[in-house]
Amino acid sequence: MLYLLRDTLFPVLVFLHAVLIGAPANHGRGRFQRAHYKVQKIGRLPRSMRESSGLARADTLATFWTHGDGGTLAQLTQFGLPGAVRRRLDLAPLPNVDWEDLARDAVGRLYIGDFGNNRSQRLDLAIYRLSLRGGRPVVDTIAFRYPDQRAFPPGRGRRNFDCEAFYWYQDSLHLFSKDRSRRQLTKHYVLPARPGRYVAALRDSIRLGRPITAADISPDGRTVALLGYGGVFFLTNAPGRRLFDGPKRFRALPRTGQAEGLVFESDSVFLVSNERGRLFRGTRR
């Protein structure tokens, strides 16, 4: 009972802390400039989809996919703005141990991140690659483990093997950890975007001062957005350079609550969903 109470209260406490501290500290990786976006509430998902845990673009214009996290149905919901449901895609008996984010590749395949790992003890981490053939879902599995995890679970101060954020880029999947210790260290891992069993490659890490709950890359491949409690980090993606070494911007989101999903609508517009199903749009000024 105590650990269930802790896991329930932890996101709330961290969100309040993130809003209070504002922009993240420098930590020797370059200054965070202000990101100039106008952010406004634009709609709300139906009550049945209030636990929106991930977002991805759909094939049809101005529609998106979302899903619930662990304990909800193994299904994807397609919706249009400002939140009307267009379609539900049942994926049972595919397990939803803890689905946390969605990604989409260049040919329209979806990737479901079943890698929520609150206590860093899972041995069945997976990403499901979903193709629609003749309207029917075909699912392949990308199973993986982390190269730097030795204990399941590790000690409380080292439980940084939860993940709620990833995106697809050039045949690879980029994952970002959600640190549940006081260090708030975000680790960047990379996996091949094809079925198989893998050891993720650890690329880099940075202390952002808040947990990361979603990620996406802009359609032109130049900007990576990492959603954290109370704000969005924008990182410049450039060939031959580690992601955290480039220019960094930050936009506070004090009114979005516990936001869990993010997707780029275009190179200059992003969409955010929170745990209560509210939808927000950020437009670059």
Cα end-to-end distance, the chain, whole Å: 47
Torsion sign, CA atoms 132, 137, 140, 142? positive
pTM: 0.91
pLDDT band at 2 (very low <50, low <70, confident <90, very high): very low
Q: What is the mean pLDDT of residues 46-75?
A: 90
Q: What is the mean pLDDT of the chain?
A: 90
SS (H, E, C) 5-32: HHHHHHHHHHHHHHHHHCCCCCCCCCCE
Residue range 171-217, pLDDT digits in tens: 999 999 999 888 889 999 999 999 999 999 999 999 998 899 999 99
Residue range 120-137, pLDDT digits in tens: 999 999 999 999 888 789
- CATH class of the domain comprising 2-284: mainly beta
